[in-house]
Chains A and B, each alone.
Chain A
Amino acid sequence: MHIHRLEKIFLGLGVITLAAFFLILIALQVGESFKPPASSMTIDPTKVASTAPFDRPGLRKLPNGSYEAYYVGQVFFWRPSTLTVPLGAKVRFYVTSTDVVHGFLIEHTDVNLEVMPGWVSTATHVFRHSGDHLIVCDQYCGAGHADMFAHIVVK
């Protein structure tokens, strides 16, 4: 088997580039600066409405000054439908579903979660700009999927 010299160089450069991409991802994960969402919290999907804290979806302030937001997705709306968040707040989102799979996308942020019944998905975001954020459902959930959205108001 003969491999052309130029092909060796070409493949070598390709492999080095790919390895560099991978090393960056490893560094981000080891350094805790970017990890994919990977919560392993579960919840009984038939009892969401009576399971704290999802019985009262909304924002909680923690003693350390950061926030937690609890969201419930259900055909075809999010609860809470509007959430007011103080400017600069660091918010950890906990999102679950009572029925089918939904997607929780806060526009123009990195918060983008598959929301599955039986599971709680999590992500964190710091709100550095005041104004209105649109949340859309970005996983097909049925006939009313296009009209499943909510708002976060930062002020």
Chain B
Amino acid sequence: MMVLDRMNTATTSAQRRLIFAHLTVAFAALFIGTFFGVLQTLSHANAIQMPPWFDYYRMLTAHGVLLALVFTTFFITGLSHLAVYQTESYPHRSIALGWLGFWLMTLGTVMATFEILAGNASVLYTFYAPLKASPWFYIGAALLIVGTWFALLEWLFITGLWRREHPGERTPLPAFMVLANYIMWFLATIGVAIEVVFMLIPWAFGWVPGVDVLLTRMLFWYFGHPLVYFWLLGAYLVWYGVMPAILKVPIFSDSLTRLAFILFIILSLPVGIHHEFSDPGIADRWKLLQTGLTLMVVVPSLMTAFALFGTFEEYAAKLGKTGFFGIVGSLPWGDPAFAGIALAMLLFIFGGIGGILNASYTLDSTIHNTMWVVGHFHITVGGPVALTLLAATWRLLPALTGKRLFSVGLARAQVWLWFVGMAVMSFAMHAEGLMGAPRRVEHYTYGGSAIAAAWQPYSLLAAGGGIVIFLSVIAFAIVLFGTIFSRPDVTETESARAFTFALARPGDEAPSAFDRLGLWTLVAIALVIVAYAGPFYQHFSEHVYLVPGMRTW
């Protein structure tokens, strides 16, 4: 094992195998999911019609679950293992907990995917009750979530050990970012775990006659919003931690990075009701309260934008370049990892602006449940997050396999195609959503309606964008398999350096309060109580009817 320095410690081959296992499932989900995505855009544009034995909605359920839940969760968990193993190095410590989590997640994924493809769970990735799926779908979803808890447990043990051995020092920043993200995620998943285990599974088996529909939605969105921050913080781990290393400059500010992640732990959770602006049974004052909190969670992303531009400026300054065009021109665009991550950041500017619009329920009422929303999350999770992870792969792959990229040119093409395709598809979706096109609809006819006919050109444009993204996926697969099946030709030192985390600049040490994750967890829980006490009190003081539910597909 090569020990470089504290932050650049190489991983052991046992650890690399665990990480690679996570990526394998993530890529399988990516390939299947994006193939379905293209078929969806074509069906929307009325260019194809899905056959009854493989209908649109089971495909859409698979697309949402495989990409938004499986691809993201597996990739981010694998990446997080790497961040912890590299920066709190215990090469001989058992990674059994990591494997246990991986196998639970994989088992859950296989179960849920099987039920979806068999047509027993066409309930979409939000599985709103009282659409009643096969119980095995819900059990699979629960296993996928519970599996991630074991990964967190492993990192808590490792970090506890590290802190005991390094009294007075701050937790290494990458490990800190991972823990912050997964503590937030853990708090969020408790909501959906309660929903699935105590409400949906007993009901799907027929042990209880009905389900409290609004309660399942409140629990789902209590999880569903932090879910999007879980994705985003996976990307931020790369933006804050790896991007400066690629540019060989120090972290912009260690303290402010920690502060941003602390704000995410606190503010990601108490905002789920902004997905329920149109629901009955939740008073307008609670909707207003959570809107205020939603606007606050923009602040750490503003801090991120500043830090990243600062990082670019510092890199350019080393080369003697200043001014906007000087800086942009000096950046290493030929490096596919850099280019992809930078393009992902660019997309997120539009995703962030859209998010602020959606948070205002005055505007939300015109775009709620329309294709605008689909455009929005493709330019947040589909663009910025997924592109960051795919671009990071161009450095992870050499680091994990000890092999050179099969084709740097094709990798470069891959990130640009993804960027262009996502931008076009998302723009078209936003546009048709503003014109009233509803989401989650297999074709737009509405009895020959002229309104629906006006959406058609944008549906076609979205399909064009979708095809470009799929070309990117093909390029990705070629470089991925080409690299995996080539012979190792990079020395271990070199490969370890391909994917490293940046160091803080000397003297930039965060205040010790920033390192007290337990404290911030308590603050987060307190804020959850503030935000949700009202809605839950209202809910439990009303007479609520339980609904039997049914299979409508």
Interface residues of A (CB under 8 A from B): 1-4, 6-7, 10-11, 14-15, 18-19, 21-22, 24-26, 28-29, 34-46, 75, 99-101, 103, 105, 107-108, 110-114, 116-122, 134, 136-147, 149
Contact = CB atoms under 8 A, between A and B. Distances in A.
A116 B214 contact: yes
Contacts of B365: 36-37, 110-112
Contacts of B298: 14, 18
28 contacts: A1-B259, A7-B303, A14-B299, A18-B299, A22-B292, A25-B361, A28-B362, A34-B361, A38-B281, A40-B283, A42-B542, A100-B552, A101-B130, A101-B213, A105-B370, A105-B436, A105-B438, A110-B365, A118-B214, A122-B280, A136-B436, A141-B131, A141-B552, A142-B57, A142-B131, A146-B444, A146-B445, A149-B446
A116 B552 contact: no
B549 interface: yes
Interface string B112-141: 000000000010100010110000000000
A1 B359 CA distance: 32
Interface of B: 55, 57, 122, 124, 128, 130-131, 213-214, 217, 253, 255-256, 259, 276-285, 287-288, 291-292, 295-296, 298-299, 302-303, 306, 310, 356, 359-362, 364-366, 368-370, 436, 438-447, 449, 451-452, 508, 510-511, 538, 542-553
Contacts of A99: 130, 550, 552
Nearest to A76: B552
Nearest to A142: B552
A46 B543 CA distance: 15
B359 to A, nearest CB: 8
A41 B436 contact: no
Given A36-B284, A117-B547, A142 B438 contact: no
A100 B445 contact: no
A18 B296 contact: yes
A91 to B, nearest CB: 16
Contacts of A29: 284-285, 288
Contact of A146 (B303, B442, B551): B442
Contacts of A43: 545
Given A25-B360, A100-B130, A134-B452, A114 B552 contact: no
Nearest to B362: A34
Nearest to A99: B550
The 6 closest A-B pairs by CB, nearest first: A142-B552, A138-B438, A118-B545, A138-B369, A1-B255, A140-B440
A117 B360 CA distance: 26
A90 B302 CA distance: 43
A21 B549 contact: no
Contact of A45 (B55, B282, B296, B545): B545
Contacts of A103: 278, 369, 438
The secondary-structure label for the interface of chain A is mixed
Nearest to A43: B545
Contacts of A136: 436, 438, 441, 446
B281 A40 contact: yes
Contact of B276 (A22, A105, A114, A122): A114
B130 to A, nearest CB: 5
A118 B543 CA distance: 10
A35 B283 CA distance: 10
A39 to B, nearest CB: 4
A61 to B, nearest CB: 24
B280 A119 contact: yes
Contacts of B213: 101, 116-119
Contact of A21 (B288, B303, B356): B356
Contacts of B443: 146
Nearest to B545: A118
B545 A11 contact: no
A100 B550 contact: yes
A4 B303 CA distance: 11
* Residue among A21, A38, A44 facing the most chain B CB atoms (10 A cut-off): A38
Given A28-B362, A105-B438, A112 B130 contact: no
Kindly name the residue among A36, A40, A46, A118 whose own CB sees the greatest number of chain B CB atoms within 10 A. Answer: A36
B432 to A, nearest CB: 12
A40 B369 contact: no
A67 B482 CA distance: 67
Contacts of A38: 280-284, 287
Contact of B130 (A105, A117, A121, A122): A117
Nearest to A26: B288
B451 A134 contact: yes
Contacts of B296: 18
A114 B283 contact: no
A41 B280 contact: yes
Nearest to A15: B299
B209 to A, nearest CB: 11
A116 B281 CA distance: 10
Contacts of A18: 295-296, 298-299, 356
Nearest to A34: B362
A116 B288 contact: no
Contact of B280 (A24, A45, A121, A147): A121
A37 B365 CA distance: 9
Contacts of A6: 306
Given A11-B306, A25-B361, A139-B369, A107 B544 contact: no
A35 B412 CA distance: 48
Contacts of A112: 278, 365-366, 368-369
B280 A39 contact: yes
Given A1-B255, A7-B306, A143-B553, A42 B545 contact: yes
B446 A114 contact: no
Nearest to A115: B280
Nearest to B538: A40
Contacts of B217: 116
Given A21-B360, A121-B280, A2 B299 contact: no
Given A2-B255, A140-B128, 16 more contacts: A1-B253, A3-B256, A6-B306, A7-B256, A7-B310, A29-B284, A39-B280, A40-B538, A100-B550, A117-B213, A118-B544, A118-B547, A134-B446, A134-B451, A136-B446, A140-B440
